[in-house]
Amino acid sequence: MLRPYTFIPMTTFKPTHLNYRITEPFIRFRDWKPESPLPFNWQMKPVSSASKAEIKVLPNKQFELTISHDIIKGVTPQMLHWWFCRIDNTMEYNGQTHHRYRVWHPFDHVYYKDLSRAPDGTGSAGTRRHIVEMFGANKNYLINIIDRVEHLDDKGILLATEQGGISLGLGNLLAPLPIRLSTLEHQFFAVPNGTRYESRLLIGVDSNLGKWLVNPIVRPLFIGYEMAKAWLKHNVEEVGNFEFFLPELYEKQNK
């Protein structure tokens, strides 16, 4: 049972005016499969570690998934800001070199690539990124998306999905979305022993068209209730994983 908690309402960050268009080639079509799990030296946090992990269907039939994570011990908001700008790189872990994205979730994360970069070479606000993951390493729970980073600083990150994968039997095809269908917001709050991390995934369209057509008919094609539960578990795990590798990586890279 989840512990009682007073959830602090989240306010959507104002999207940046910066707009770095895609400059890198990306994989438009592929039969994505789970990667071999990486060995890791920690116990992933369970959903019960979060003081709130909730799925709501809003009056307009949008899906709203919210998590108030367990405190990320030893991790600062500055570290998280640094990380989200620099995921597309490698790191040493267990004596081997791995992509940072794979270490972040050794089971579920499949592929990551920055498709555009800011002038300083990072994946900061205004850039776009290709993300592929499978919740529970389950191919039925495949996420294959291109997101625009609409906000990123020490206070948090806001991602908006611009292209989404469509399963076509032989593989998964990335296609541009004609509407704003999904946003993911994480907020970072400094506390004495680390960071309080609040997450909100919103899927669907806030309009009459969304309420009567997109949200009840189109939205379930992208995510249903069981997949939403799998996302809650995945997100609790990946956020909890930060405390086991990020402080050391940040220190090494910022000496």
Model pLDDT for residues 84-121, shown as the tens digit of each residue: 999 999 999 989 999 999 999 999 999 999 999 999 99
Strand pairing category for 72-73 and 182-191: unpaired
Model pLDDT for residues 174-213, shown as the tens digit of each residue: 999 998 999 999 999 999 999 999 999 999 998 888 899 8
If you count DSSP H runs as helices and E runs as strands, how many of each does the chain have, helices first? 5, 13
The answer to whether the beta carbons of residues 65 and 232 sit under 8 Å apart is: yes
The pLDDT value given to residue 4: 38
Q: What is the model's pTM? A: 0.94
The answer to whether the beta carbons of residues 195 and 188 sit under 8 Å apart is: yes
**224: phi then psi, degrees, rounded to nearest 5:** -110, -175
**What is the radius of gyration, based on Cα positions, of the chain?**
18
pLDDT confidence bin for 11, thresholds 50/70/90: low
The pLDDT value given to residue 70: 98
Q: What are the strands, taking DSSP E only, across the chain?
A: 29-30, 52-57, 63-68, 72-73, 90-93, 96-99, 109-114, 128-134, 142-153, 156-167, 172-176, 182-191, 194-203
What is the per-residue burial (b if ≥16 Cβ within 10 Å, else e) of 4-16? eeeeeeeeebebb
In angstroms, the CA 140 to CA 30 distance is 15
Taking each helix axis as running N to C, give the angle between helix 77-85 and helix 225-253, from 0 to 180 degrees, rounded to the nearest 10. 100
pLDDT at 69 over 60: yes
Residue 190's CB: how many other CB atoms inside 10 A?
A: 13
User: Within a 13 Å sphere around the CA of 122, how many CA atoms are in the beta-carbon half?
Assistant: 12
Domains defined for the chain, CATH in brackets:
29-253 (3.30.530.20)
Task: Give which of 239, 242, 186 is closest to 49, Cα–Cα.
Answer: 239
